[in-house]
A and B are shown apart, each in its own frame.
Chain A
Amino acid sequence: MIPMVGIVACSGEEIPEGTVTRIATRIVIEELKPTQTMVICLPLYISGKEDERSFVRRQPTIIVDGCDKGCAEKTIRINNGKVAAVVRVSDVMNECGLKLNSKRRLDKEGEKLARKVAEKIAEEVDKIIGEMMKQAAAKLGT
């Protein structure tokens, strides 16, 4: 099966949540949903790389933002990308009561948070693919 869902991490440098978005995204791409997802490199997308741009126009994309500024989401929406879901690290932190310390390397708690965020992204992948399958089945039925 060709990967169907794109994942865009904000990778923000100023806050530790940015590091979490990167690691969570890689956990999904490499471990949880390797055949159904594709990493979209936000800096490449910003600089106009056609591979990234056309995929996000064509396929549903999950945004992983670190904070309320929502930079990744804004960037994709400005360029008319298909935003299928948004996962915010700050929201997951509030839900799970986890904290972050250094922005550079994640400690045990940070790693736990990255795993939680990855699981949340994977749930969204399942929902989106389920919906795509339903739509495809409905099309075949008509």
Chain B
Amino acid sequence: MVDVIELVAGKFTIKIPKGLFYSQHDTWVRKTSPAIIGVTDYFQLLLGDVLYVNLPEEGSEINTVEEIGELESVKAVLGLYSPVSGRVVEVNSRIKEEPELINQDPYGDGWLLKVAPRNLEVDIANLMDAEGYTKLVEFKIREEQKRIEKQKIN
């Protein structure tokens, strides 16, 4: 059984582990107690080397419809949307000093928050599994290619 789906895009191999649940905003949640959330390999590739991290504080309430923070690289600032609603119980303390962990290990040492979810099952019902998210990433890559081609024509 394959544990990680690998999607080749140019020189990059985008990894999408099975067993996690994914949002359309390229964040993931691991169904543990508390739940662990982070950004996907695709998100970190899109952003490039993370320079600055802005995350919610411990104890704050977050939900799936509001931006909860930002990750910033030299190329862009990308907003973070949590895949689950709940209370932040822990922020990855290593990330502030070593934001490169997000690039190097987005599903491991580069995790962002631990959250006590309000209603995990309801949130997960609205998320994608690895196969579903792979299709979404393929679609996003195709759209990006079209955008570049169009930009060249114009």
Contacts and interface: CB of A to CB of B under 8 A. Distances in A.
Q: Do chains A and B make direct contact within the complex (CB under 8 angstroms)?
A: yes
Interface of A: 1-3, 6, 34-35, 38, 40, 50-52, 54-55
12 contacts: A1-B149, A2-B9, A2-B141, A34-B151, A34-B152, A35-B148, A35-B152, A38-B10, A38-B11, A50-B13, A51-B13, A55-B11
A35 B11 contact: no
Given A34-B152, A35-B152, A6 B11 contact: yes
Interface of B: 8-13, 141, 145, 148-149, 151-152
Nearest first, the 3 closest Cβ-Cβ pairs linking A and B are A55-B11, A3-B10, A38-B10
Nearest to A52: B11
A50 B10 CA distance: 13
Contacts of A2: 8-10, 141, 145
Given A6-B11, A52-B11, 5 more contacts: A2-B10, A38-B10, A38-B11, A51-B11, A55-B11
B12 A35 contact: no
Contacts of B152: 34-35
Contacts of B8: 2
Contacts of B12: 51
Contact of B13 (A38, A40, A54): A54
